[in-house]
Structure 1
Amino acid sequence: MSDALKQGAMQIVRRLCEAGFEAYLVGGCVRDEQLGRPVKDYDIATSAHPEQVQRLFERTVPTGLQHGTVTVVVGKKPYEVTTFRREGGYEAFRRPTEVEYIDSLTEDLQRRDFTMNAMAIDQNGRLIDPFDGMSDLERGVLRCVGRAEERFGEDALRMMRCLRFASEYGLIVEQATWDALNSGISLLRHIAMERIRAELERMLGGSDPNRALDLLTGSKALRHVKQELLLSGLDKETAWPPLSRLTEMEHRLAFIYIRLGAVPAEVEEDMIKLTFSRHQMETVKRIVAAHTALLSGLDRATGWAEEAYLRRIWISAALTYGVPALRALREIYLLENRPIRTEDIKVGEAADVWKRLGSVWLEQMPVSALAELAVGGKDLMGHLGVKGGPWTGRLLHRLLESAALAELRNDKETLLAAAREHYENMQENDE
């Protein structure tokens, strides 16, 4: 895939050069290729102006003409082709107020954020590296191009990118760059929350989430964003277990919220501020809610919780929040000896049982959702001769729990027989 992608990019570069312009592969694709990492997309910089690019290629899309960018389509693959440019002042610490076209590759590379992103490859495959990005990479150092204060002052999002690149590529942030980041970190309040979320998501979902947490803690970056976040409490936490053992970014995030002692409503509020998708929010919230439910189930237990009781509250949580949430929660508990920051021995011992047996219990459940139950609301109303109401849902849930715990067989006759007894008990309790 990447070979075909690169061929398309080089075809564009050569076509521009044949027409008398300069053209190069630039940015992240050059960096990743030098490091032997997979390249997701190739960007091209050229001395040709946007209208000249549009004239040279059959299929183009005017994606960012105000910034000098034209998308050229080769095969079915889009490539961004941007004119060499110098940027005027910046507004809102994010966007250039004006763009001036130039004919110098070096000057174009000079406006970029980090030395490792300021390299280019020419039509013959030769590396052009005016700011020693390659030697920085070889030394494992992340360094701004030119003066770090200026780079971060032009675009404050670069500070979040700095943390992400350092964690993802295993780099040490050069001292002057780190000092500039720490002195300029309050500029993050100018950056849209969705931009912060995109960087955070990539950091936590990346290859070294623990390094990302260290960098977020060291810089206190999340204390300086536009809206107050519960996640900013990260910098009070230390000694995280290896989060990379959790395969999903959402599961890593759920673990962090559990560690911070968040309740589901706080998770929702935080994730809405950060513009996470509804699906991502529900996934994280369900895991945190299941954890909260298990803890409150332990609080209600008298004496030491028996294994049968621990199984009951585990399966009850699975029915309420979904089997996937409980599977994820068990993985979270497996991360360390005391997954829940508490001195309560009972909680620790319960977690040990859930780690050992939680997976088996989930597999043994004969039913895990109302849709799998052999009776429905209409069956109950018909059998009991009573009009539907709030009792219907409560009774179905009770039957579901009994069937899931294998206390009742999941067949119509058995469930309807049990339904009458449950219904009568409910009536007595309500009176």
Structure 2
Amino acid sequence: MLRVLESAGLEAWIVGGWVRDALMCAPGHDIDICCSGSWEQSAAALRAEGIAVVESGVKFGGITAVLDGERIEVTAYRLDGFYTDGRHPESVRRAQCVEEDLARRDFTVNAMAWHPRRGLLDLYDGRGDLERRQIRAVGEPRRRFEEDALRMLRAVRFACRLDFSMDAATASALDSCAPLLDAVARERVGIELEGILVTGRGGDALLRYPELMCAAIPELARMRGFNQRTPYHAFDVYEHTARVLTVAGELSRFRIDGGDPDAPPSPSLMWAALLHDVAKPDTFTVDERGRGHFYGHPERGAARAKAIMRRLSCGNDLMRDVNLLIRYHDQPLRPERVDLLRMMQRFASGGVDVPRLMGELFDLKRADTLGKASQCFYYVDEIERMREMVRELIANGEAYSVKTLNLTGKDLIAHGMAPGPQVGAALNRALEGAIVGEVPNSTLHLLTYLGF
């Protein structure tokens, strides 16, 4: 594509994240090309060579070219006008050279260009920042964030994803510019927050950039410095939450559930870890001994989390799963068959993937335990016993919902039961018998149990 564009008399470079990832010897995904021509000139040159073009971002001088199934963004050199809404430039105009285009970009590690003949163009020492493992704004950080406030969350996302620190001036600007995030659409904030969480380093984000994270979710601010006044907690609610996020992220890396170790953490687990104690300040009481309690905080927290996530335009399935995890994260559970089947039954009634969500519940419980005082750590062994028991219950075909019963309504009707509400009632009766151990989960035994 570079050859085609330059054969038409244009100048073109590969820019942005692909260059950054290549310098880090990391796999590259999205490819962006920056070109001296207008989008019309680029499109004409590509189409003349039989390359498909989608006019996807012409307002900002961009198109998408499709070659051998690969989608490549091609954008004209550009300069942004004034930003009046903290997110979008009032106008975009053509830049004269690639150097002007790179000057408008957000961070030094994203402001490099590469060409197979001309080599690397690195005006702001982005390669040096990669070696120093730091995120640094191009130019004056405050100006970059005033132009586009969402860049603040992008900075944190990159720092978390790459496990980089933040340049001191950039970090200072994050704190002072945090209120600017109010101008950004909540949906965009939600997308960036999830991007931070699924790096597995959301705990670092909370501790290192508290002003920004509390600007993104104002409900977190009340948790900062909130003394729990209980011997079971060594940290305030905010720091406890950060530690739970960190442990949950680490669990995902070690894949206790046996899954792909390179897969990102589950969004539902990470959102639940972030918001599991969000209602503690609302439910705080102190008993006659001066000890703090948070009665009802899981239920209140589940409702509060749903409101927060709806405000951030999170998906319905994600909100459902997070709601369930938060609602039951503090539910007393014992490594006993009926206790675990009852928990699975509660999840099944919500229409979720029960084995997955049970695994995430144990991950959350374990992380919550390890975020408390050390005297609570004994519970981790019990959590892992329960995790193994659930695996065995599922492998052995134990019933925890009508769908997992080895008996259907058709079976009952075939044995003479008239269609109607009585079929569902019979199935529920059979399920109850199977859960409490009165009857094995086999068709013959279940039919006999129901009197057929």
| Residue 315 in structure 1 maps to residue 346 in structure 2 | no
What's the CA shift for 1:351? 4.4
Q: d(CA) in 2 for partners of 1:61 and 1:382?
A: 58
Matching residue's letter, 2:17? G
Name the CA shift for 1:117/1:347 in 2 (closer, same or farther; >3 Å).
closer
- Name the counterpart of 2:260: none
Contact 1:113 1:145 in 2 (8 A): yes
Q: d(CA) in 2 for partners of 1:267 and 1:381?
A: 43
Aligned counterpart for 1:119 among listed residues 103, 112, 117: 112
RMSD of the TM alignment (CA)? 3.4
Contact 2:86 2:149 in 1 (8 A): yes
Name the CA shift for 1:141/1:353 in 2 (closer, same or farther; >3 Å).
closer
Name the CA shift for 1:74/1:375 in 2 (closer, same or farther; >3 Å).
closer
Q: d(CA) in 2 for partners of 1:159 and 1:185?
A: 8
Please give the per-residue CA displacement for 1:199-244, whole angstroms capped at 9, x wherever unaligned: 11121112534433433xx33323323x755698488224345323
**Equivalent position SS for 2:329:** helix
Aligned counterpart for 2:251 among listed residues 233, 245, 258: 245
Aligned residues: 394
Aligned counterpart for 2:274 among listed residues 256, 261, 269: 256
Q: d(CA) in 1 for partners of 2:158 and 2:186?
A: 19
Return 340-349 or 52-61, whichever deviates more: 340-349
Matching residue's letter, 2:430? L
Alignment of 1:11-410 (within 5 A): 12-58=1-47, 59-124=52-117, 126-206=119-199, 208-215=201-208, 218-225=209-216, 228-229=218-219, 233=223, 236-238=238-240, 239-240=243-244, 241-242=246-247, 243-246=249-252, 247-260=265-278, 261-263=297-299, 264-291=302-329, 294-295=331-332, 310-321=336-347, 322-335=354-367, 337-338=369-370, 351=383, 354-355=386-387, 357-376=389-408, 388-389=420-421, 393=424, 396-410=427-441
Q: Structure 1: any 5+ residue segments left out of the alignment?
A: 1-11, 299-304, 421-431
Contact 1:25 1:45 in 2 (8 A): yes
Q: d(CA) in 2 for partners of 1:18 and 1:64?
A: 23
**Equivalent position SS for 1:100:** strand
Q: d(CA) in 2 for partners of 1:116 and 1:91?
A: 26
Contact 1:197 1:275 in 2 (8 A): yes
Larger % of helix: which?
1
What's the CA shift for 1:106? 1.0
Name the CA shift for 1:345/1:78 in 2 (closer, same or farther; >3 Å).
closer
Name the CA shift for 1:311/1:343 in 2 (closer, same or farther; >3 Å).
farther
Matching residue's letter, 2:115? D
Please give the per-residue CA displacement for 1:312-340, whole angstroms capped at 9, x wherever unaligned: 22111112212332122223334464577
Contact 2:108 2:125 in 1 (8 A): yes
**Equivalent position SS for 1:91:** coil
**Equivalent position SS for 1:201:** helix
Name the CA shift for 1:228/1:181 in 2 (closer, same or farther; >3 Å).
closer
**Equivalent position SS for 1:57:** helix
Q: Which has the larger radius of gyration?
A: 1
Q: d(CA) in 2 for partners of 1:103 and 1:89?
A: 18
